[in-house]
Structure 1
């Protein structure tokens, strides 16, 4: 619990000891930053007119007052007058014009996440918190939702999430993973074309700036979540003078030599950090009346889940979804999804109980019961593979998987395994952006300490990279995507205060509750 908090703090926080956060850019780092901006960034459309947005009604299930439009963007920013694709854009105008101070852009997570449905879902909560201070705007990134999409023509068997995530075989072998990865990479090379090659974090940042101009805004404020937090950091690096109040919610390690490779590897640590929350919940006597208690002690839940996964490796159990049995890897993937939110705990506990009951037939989570649409599978994969090079050695991956399985049994080697990116046919069009401390000090980071997808250790690396530009609010909580979702009331108050009043802690702080 926090102690000794100043009375004017927006929530009960404990300040961290002062740390030296200023970073010194070496000549090499400066050179790397400039290289990251060329050649594509120099081909920005600053001299090219951006068409005005034509707003109209949104398709259901949009809410009253929610408007939608289409924004044309270049397929390739190195050819700004070349072929176009369109982005789906949505907004809800401030209902208090006198209180309006600008536009808040919601940058969705993913890769593969669409923003327009998120605005629909979060509008009411944001309306209560922000009291008309902003027009709320979002977009579906290229390849997602109502924006232009493209697919790789993948077979249905290769589009299941449990296949796209490269879970090793029950014995730890990766031969099948490597074959699938080659097959997917070959299909994307044949079918993808320029639209798929243009799905990258750098292009999403450029799309955001084109949207800013189309909105007629000199500056944007933002609430960027998960993968969107990385995109938001890239935007703040490339276009610092166009940022106002900038919130990065649930950040990953921005290391430009790894980017998504590092995020995947970090899932093993994230699961270990977060699982004790589920174990405590599943052993709570309150679960008994709900029929969901898995063990009498929290320490017994982990071995129970691991033993069940191993049993399902040996003998998958028929589920209610024809042709899709409950396997050990499907159970592990269900656990990964579950750890994002406490609200998902009952569903996973129910699945475990069904799997252990010889008379029950497990009901699979909807997200795992069938293949993703081809376009959705591509949107999940492409930014990962287009942003950075991935190592291709199968023997090296085999060794890495064996070591990772031993250290992190909950994820069974998946985070270290080979992916289609290892066999990508085209090198990334440019180097990943190096996030630095150069720019205005207008960033607030919000981070759960036990985040399964973007672990705290990775977020600290983003914090160090940003230096004096940012402040970090650490929540003593578990889950992914903190603001108005899986965080705490204290964290919500800190973000709301920053967006509405500009108040930001003078140093990094800890939210106790």
Structure 2
């Protein structure tokens, strides 16, 4: 992999920041540009890195309010094409009022790339999360976490020291400056809600309308560790939807005629595969497939066919290059945001408790990650604050497997008077324009179009 020396430039701090826009190679409806930002915001005159930025300008400049920045999921996912793939799904009144802007966060996509150079089994995307072994054994997870941390230290260069949610919020504000905007509206989804929230906390007077779609718990003592732990809560909230769906189709899938029977079937099959894996399916892979399938009703058939005993189909995974960037940026963000506990014994005990309390996820959410062996000191977490204007709207499904409703309530509480919340009676991950809930979609659209800012239950 290319080292950092090939990617970091030494553009002077006073260099022009006005973007030069050209047609995007991968999305011809967009314009693209490259910005130079500090590698280390504590050293603004030092080395600089590139941020790839894109936009689709409003066709109604007479109605234009400003910029709506789409902040991607992750951490580690690119967002350069989101104005096309996501932004063009926005209702016409929103598109009339905003330039839709996307970007690849540092380390991802066409921005200065990051990589830890993980290899072998550690580079298997479908089993990247730390699913314990049979009976909750975490020895393999401990060894893998050490290998990934070592690989990041060995191959990641200085860039990995300067990737965090705080840094992404600083990059977001540099995008705002480069676009010549006094304030910025944003729509963050999943992890993207957190840098949006950090930006709204650090720069409250530079925000216009902030949509946080599928938020995690912003607890500054845990941050990503808490998000991972909440996968257990999210699966508990969401799995009944799948169980009811499968029970209604028992004649097709034979998983049980009641939701309870489907749940028992899943747990029994997972345990059997722990001790007697098939060539194409282990207990860990089954749990991974089922958990991932909970993100959308459209994925229920995949989980059901695998549970039925059909051959495991090829699973969608990122390209090797994209996976390396997801690993590097995901690890750097999670590990640099806050210090993680290092005790292996404490993690083993936490997994044992989690397996008992939340059997659906087999202890994975409480397990050890590379952050427990991270070689760099963590920064000071940002405490999400109520200081600022009343301009934050949360949109949240009640049964979200990745970012459960309980965590979003804590995000709303952290913002205090600044925030309102649209609670959507749906399952899956992603609320706005994601599941056909007309009431929830209309509430978010009204906020973006005319500033309607109120709690709603849909």
1:331 pairs with 279, 286, 290, which one?
A: 286
- Give the structure-2-normalised TM-score: 0.93
1:479-513 deviation digits (Å, cap 9, x = unpaired):
111111136211100000010011111xx3311xx
Aligned 8 A contact 1:443 1:469 in 2: yes
Q: C-alpha separation between the residues in 2 aligned to 1:484 and 1:266?
A: 24
Aligned 8 A contact 2:126 2:315 in 1: no
Please name the residue that 1:380 is paired with: 330
Please name the residue that 1:303 is paired with: 264
1:442 pairs with 375, 380, 391, which one?
A: 391
1:479 pairs with 424, 428, 442, which one?
A: 428
1:315 pairs with 273, 276, 283, which one?
A: 276
Shift of 1:361: 2.6
> SS state of the match for residue 94, structure 1?
coil
Aligned 8 A contact 2:443 2:456 in 1: no
Please name the residue that 1:488 is paired with: 437
Aligned 8 A contact 1:317 1:326 in 2: yes
Structure 1 residues 431-470: aligned runs within 5 Å: 431-470=380-419
Q: C-alpha separation between the residues in 1 aligned to 2:56 and 2:187?
A: 15
Aligned 8 A contact 2:38 2:45 in 1: yes
Please name the residue that 1:278 is paired with: 242
> SS state of the match for residue 389, structure 1?
coil
Q: C-alpha separation between the residues in 2 aligned to 1:327 and 1:130?
A: 46
Please name the residue that 2:349 is paired with: 399
- Give the structure-1-normalised TM-score: 0.84
Aligned 8 A contact 2:125 2:323 in 1: no
- Bigger RCO of structures 1 and 2 (CA < 8 A, at least 6 apart): 1
Please name the residue that 1:42 is paired with: none
> SS state of the match for residue 432, structure 1?
coil
> SS state of the match for residue 482, structure 1?
coil
Please name the residue that 1:236 is paired with: 200
Shift of 1:162: 4.7
Please name the residue that 2:3 is paired with: none
Aligned 8 A contact 1:107 1:139 in 2: yes
Shift of 1:50: 5.0
Provide the aligned C-alpha RMSD in A. Answer: 1.9
Q: Does 1:390 align with 2:340?
A: yes
Q: Does 1:408 align with 2:355?
A: no
Aligned 8 A contact 1:160 1:371 in 2: no
Structure 1 residues 90-105: aligned runs within 5 Å: 90-105=54-69
The 1:302/1:369 distance shift into structure 2, 3 A limit, reads farther
Please name the residue that 2:7 is paired with: none
Aligned 8 A contact 2:197 2:384 in 1: yes
Please list every run of 5 or more consecutive structure 1 residues that lacks an aligned counterpart in the other structure: 1-46, 319-324
Shift of 1:332: 0.6
Please name the residue that 1:23 is paired with: none
Q: Does 1:366 align with 2:327?
A: no
> SS state of the match for residue 434, structure 2?
helix
Aligned 8 A contact 1:154 1:184 in 2: yes
Please list every run of 5 or more consecutive structure 2 residues that lacks an aligned counterpart in the other structure: 1-12
Q: C-alpha separation between the residues in 2 aligned to 1:104 and 1:249?
A: 14
Q: How many residues align?
A: 446
Please name the residue that 1:345 is paired with: 300
1:53 pairs with 2, 5, 19, which one?
A: 19
Structure 1 residues 11-160: aligned runs within 5 Å: 51-60=17-26, 62-64=27-29, 66-128=30-92, 130-160=94-124
Question: Which segment is superposed worse, 48-57 or 458-467?
Answer: 48-57
